[in-house]
């Protein structure tokens, strides 16, 4: 796509009044102008991200058509800035333009959203996003030489097409993160196109970019799921725990002011408002950077970076705990006026508790800190209704330890699986487990979840901070199951875990068994019909087919034991090996496939 087609959106953005109030302080004005300049410089890519995330089925040609519509908006507003459409919120105007595209709402099945207005329309478009992107074609792969020539011929067109493909496959990832990914892709392309062995260079350098995207995608979906399901209070709690651990010398009052910016950021980012998300993130990071002395000495280097690298850098920093900070804050369990302080302002009191406990326990995971805060809140409510509250809440520290011990045992069991099972068997263990508890999920989703669990355990189970690492990453896997949309339903048991208590959903999932409401398909739906393309599949592709076979077998026969399912997978592997070596593979598959089917039907 030529940049000429996209520049119209620059002036269009200038004519929109944003819900963020205009800054008045000199430093804030400077930060606002820097952010506005960043939006101007990247407006084409921002347009593509917004459109591709809202209308994932849209073709690249339709994205170009949308850019043309934005240019027409520009012309209208240049001619008369007082026109009604020139004073709308950016996201509202953007969705209005999408709805006005001739034939597209009907063709791409979002016309029902266009029949709504304002907040209802935004919500409809949001709920129209699909996390499971199995309906999209495989991500296009280009020969390295072709890729480099395309970049050389028109780098903007190359990057536009790439960010379009990535955005439509990651509809909930925040715009600043996708722009960072695009920057890293460009950096990788420039480097690898100068190399002799371009293919190997791309293969190696793509790994950290993919890992970065997956990590931020999981975290952002998890927090947005919490935001949309439980409201801003839970998001604030998550960030109190994270920021207090990362920057433990920050005063509570300073932390509270940061949280105000966090709330406004997630309101825009989770909804998919690209412009507000960029401005909200920038405002938050500018706030943090303006208070380096009172927050952390380790973010100076980050604050010198440009948008959006500045934010990504700060997020990954961590400060040391002050040496004079005691392990226990007695005012929450030893103070005789605890109940009075709690009753005076419960939200602030609980925020202070979480802040003090988190900054003292950098070894704990974010979910565990939220569990302890929930235990304290529940038990304190009971204690404050007794005849002698101080006697009651003076023992609560023991309850905190019991909660952590229970969580620790779950992690230890998972790491024992890691130690005792090979990588493949570990993966099959989680394929079976997840498919039995949530068979309604697609095969692609279930294989993804199993692979993510394996990645979490491979990453964490040999580290000194094993507990926090595993608990944090597995919480993200649970976030993938629960999804972002608050109206997502899987089955009653899973829905209960996802919607009842954010802090304890991991414990809830641990207790789940096979879904009793699930009715498996009556026929095998071609599961045991094998084709000769299995013999042409390379190792990775053949492994994917084996993974899918196992998940689909669990869906078909959920009553089979783990041992029986693994035995059937072994028989499938042996069958493929046998038939691919036979003189007539097709005849072999036609003969052996029904035998395997009959055996599983009889089980």
pLDDT digits (tens, 9 = 90+) for 298-320: 889 998 888 778 887 888 888 88
Stretch 420-445: mean pLDDT? 94
Q: Domain check: are 505 and 593 in the same one? A: no
Cβ neighbours of 120 (radius 10 Å): 11
Confidence band of 9 (pLDDT split at 50, 70, 90) = very low
Q: Domain check: are 417 and 507 in the same one? A: yes
Q: 17 by DSSP, 3-state: which?
A: coil
Q: Domain check: are 507 and 536 in the same one? A: no
Q: Domain check: are 485 and 448 in the same one? A: yes
Q: Say how many domains are in the chain.
A: 3
Confidence band of 111 (pLDDT split at 50, 70, 90) = very high
Question: 3-state SS of the chain: helix, strand, coil percent to 5?
Answer: 70, 0, 30
In a domain, 463, yes or no: yes
CA distance 79 to 431: 59
- pLDDT tens, residue by residue, 558-567: 999 999 999 9
347: pLDDT strictly greater than 60: yes
In a domain, 434, yes or no: yes
Stretch 356-379: mean pLDDT? 94
CA distance 108 to 58: 7
568: pLDDT strictly greater than 60: yes
Q: What sign results for the dihedral spanned by CA atoms 586, 591, 592, 595?
A: positive
Q: Mean pLDDT in the chain? A: 86
Nearest of 22, 39, 50, 47 to residue 125 by alpha carbon? 50
Q: Which of the listed residues 478, 511, 544 is the one where a domain comes to its end?
A: 511
Q: Which residue's entry shows tokens 């130690």?
A: 419
In a domain, 142, yes or no: no
CATH number of 119's domain: 1.10.246.10
DSSP string, 110-161: -HHHHTS-HHHHHHHHHHT--S--TTSPPPP---HHHHHHHHHH-HHHHHHH
The pLDDT of residue 78 is 64
Q: Domain check: are 106 and 74 in the same one? A: yes
DSSP string, 383-415: HTTSS-HHHHHTTHHHHHHHHHHHHHHHHHHHH
Q: 67-99 in b/e burial notation, b at 16+ Cβ within 10 A?
A: bebbbebbeebeeeeeeeebebbbbbbbbbbbb
End-to-end CA distance of the chain: 57
Q: Domain check: are 550 and 503 in the same one? A: no
In a domain, 107, yes or no: yes
In terms of C-beta density within 10 A (0-12 exposed, 13-18 middle, 19 or more buried), how is residue 104 classed? buried
CA distance 229 to 198: 45
Please list the alpha-helical segments (H only) found in 438-561.
Answer: 443-460, 466-482, 492-500, 505-510, 533-536, 539-556
267: pLDDT strictly greater than 80: no
Q: Which residue's entry shows tokens 């890519």?
A: 45
The pLDDT of residue 61 is 87
Q: Which of the listed residues 481, 511, 541 is the one where a domain comes to its end?
A: 511
Rg (CA), the chain: 27
8-state DSSP, 40: H
Q: Domain check: are 563 and 482 in the same one? A: no
In terms of C-beta density within 10 A (0-12 exposed, 13-18 middle, 19 or more buried), how is residue 64 classed? middle
The pLDDT of residue 514 is 94
Q: Domain check: are 497 and 536 in the same one? A: no
The pLDDT of residue 6 is 37
Please list the alpha-helical segments (H only) found in 170-197.
Answer: 175-192
Q: Which residue's entry shows tokens 């097409």?
A: 161
Angle, alpha carbons 506-510-516 (nearest 5°) = 120
Mean pLDDT lowest among 247-251, 261-265, 280-284, 341-345: 261-265
The pLDDT of residue 563 is 93
Cβ neighbours of 154 (radius 10 Å): 14
Share of the chain above pLDDT 90, in %: 53
Q: What sign results for the dihedral spanned by CA atoms 295, 301, 302, 306?
A: positive
- Residue ranges for the known binding site are 273
4: pLDDT strictly greater than 50: no
- pLDDT tens, residue by residue, 131-144: 888 888 888 888 89
Can you read off the two tokens belonging to residue 261? 């910016």
- pLDDT tens, residue by residue, 380-404: 999 999 999 999 988 888 999 999 9
Q: 20 by DSSP, 3-state: which?
A: coil
Nearest of 544, 526, 365, 366 to residue 450 by alpha carbon? 544
- Residue ranges for the known binding site for Zn(2+) are 273
In a domain, 236, yes or no: no
The pLDDT of residue 373 is 96
User: Are the beta carbons of 422 and 458 closer than 8 angstroms?
Assistant: no
Q: Which of the listed residues 445, 477, 511 is the one where a domain comes to its end?
A: 511
- Whether the ω angle into residue 568 lies within 30 degrees of 0, i.e. cis, is no
CA distance 172 to 190: 28
Stretch 450-471: mean pLDDT? 92
CA distance 31 to 35: 6
In terms of C-beta density within 10 A (0-12 exposed, 13-18 middle, 19 or more buried), how is residue 161 classed? middle
In a domain, 332, yes or no: no
In a domain, 420, yes or no: yes
Q: Domain check: are 485 and 574 in the same one? A: no
Range of the domain at 567: 532-602
Q: Domain check: are 422 and 491 in the same one? A: yes
In a domain, 340, yes or no: no
């Amino acid at each position: 796509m030529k940049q000429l087609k996209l520049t119209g959106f620059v002036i269009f953005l200038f004519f929109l009044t944003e819900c963020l109030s205009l800054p008045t302080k000199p430093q804030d004005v400077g930060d606002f102008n820097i952010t506005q300049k960043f939006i101007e410089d990247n407006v084409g890519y921002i347009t593509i991200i917004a459109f591709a995330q809202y209308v994932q089925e849209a073709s690249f040609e339709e994205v170009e058509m949308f850019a043309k519509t934005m240019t027409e908006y520009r012309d209208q507003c240049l001619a008369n800035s007082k026109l009604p459409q020139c004073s709308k919120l950016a996201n509202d105007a953007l969705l209005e333009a999408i709805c006005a595209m001739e034939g597209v709402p009907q063709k791409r099945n979002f016309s029902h959203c266009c029949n709504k207005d304002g907040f209802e329309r935004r919500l409809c478009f949001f709920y129209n996003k699909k996390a499971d992107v199995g309906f999209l074609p495989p991500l296009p792969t280009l020969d390295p030489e072709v890729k480099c020539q395309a970049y050389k011929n028109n780098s903007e067109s190359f990057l536009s097409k790439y960010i379009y493909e990535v955005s439509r496959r990651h509809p909930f990832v925040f715009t600043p993160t996708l722009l960072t990914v695009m920057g890293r892709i460009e950096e990788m392309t420039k480097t690898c196109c100068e190399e002799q062995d371009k293919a190997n260079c791309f293969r190696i350098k793509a790994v950290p970019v993919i890992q970065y995207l997956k990590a931020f995608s999981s975290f952002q979906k998890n927090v947005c799921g919490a935001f949309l399901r439980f409201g801003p209070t839970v998001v604030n709690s998550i960030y109190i725990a994270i920021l207090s651990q990362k920057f433990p010398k920050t005063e509570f009052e300073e932390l509270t002011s940061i949280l105000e910016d966090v709330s406004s950021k997630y309101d825009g980012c989770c909804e998919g408002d690209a412009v507000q998300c960029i401005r909200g993130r920038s405002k938050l990071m500018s706030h943090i950077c303006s208070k380096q002395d009172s927050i952390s000495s380790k973010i100076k280097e980050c604050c010198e970076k440009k948008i959006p690298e500045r934010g990504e850098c700060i997020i990954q920093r961590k400060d040391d705990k002050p040496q004079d900070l005691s392990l226990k804050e007695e005012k929450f369990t030893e103070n005789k006026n605890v109940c009075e302080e709690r009753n005076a302002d419960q939200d602030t009191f609980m925020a202070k508790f979480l802040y003090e406990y988190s900054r003292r326990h950098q070894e704990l995971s974010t979910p565990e800190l939220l569990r302890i805060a929930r235990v304290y809140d529940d038990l304190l409510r009971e204690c404050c209704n007794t005849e002698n509250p101080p006697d009651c809440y003076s023992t609560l520290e023991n309850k905190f330890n019991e909660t952590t011990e229970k969580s620790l045992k779950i992690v230890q069991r998972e790491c024992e699986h890691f130690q005792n099972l090979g990588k493949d068997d570990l993966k099959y263990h989680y394929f079976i487990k997840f498919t039995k508890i949530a068979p309604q999920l697609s095969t692609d989703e279930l294989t993804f979840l199993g692979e993510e669990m394996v990645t979490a355990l491979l990453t964490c189970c040999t580290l000194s901070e094993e507990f926090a690492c595993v608990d944090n990453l597995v919480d993200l896997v649970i976030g993938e199951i629960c999804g972002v949309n608050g109206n997502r339903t899987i089955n009653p048991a899973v829905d209960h875990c996802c919607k009842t208590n954010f802090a304890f959903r991991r414990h809830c999932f641990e207790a789940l068994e096979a879904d009793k409401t699930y009715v498996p398909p009556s026929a095998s739906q071609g599961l045991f019909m094998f084709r000769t393309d299995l013999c042409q599949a390379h190792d990775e592709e053949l492994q994917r087919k084996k993974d899918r076979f196992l998940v689909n077998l669990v869906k078909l026969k959920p009553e089979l034991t783990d041992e029986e399912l693994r035995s059937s997978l072994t028989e499938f592997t042996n069958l493929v090996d046998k038939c691919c070596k036979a003189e007539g593979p097709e005849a072999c598959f036609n003969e052996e496939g029904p035998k395997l089917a009959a055996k599983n039907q009889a089980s």
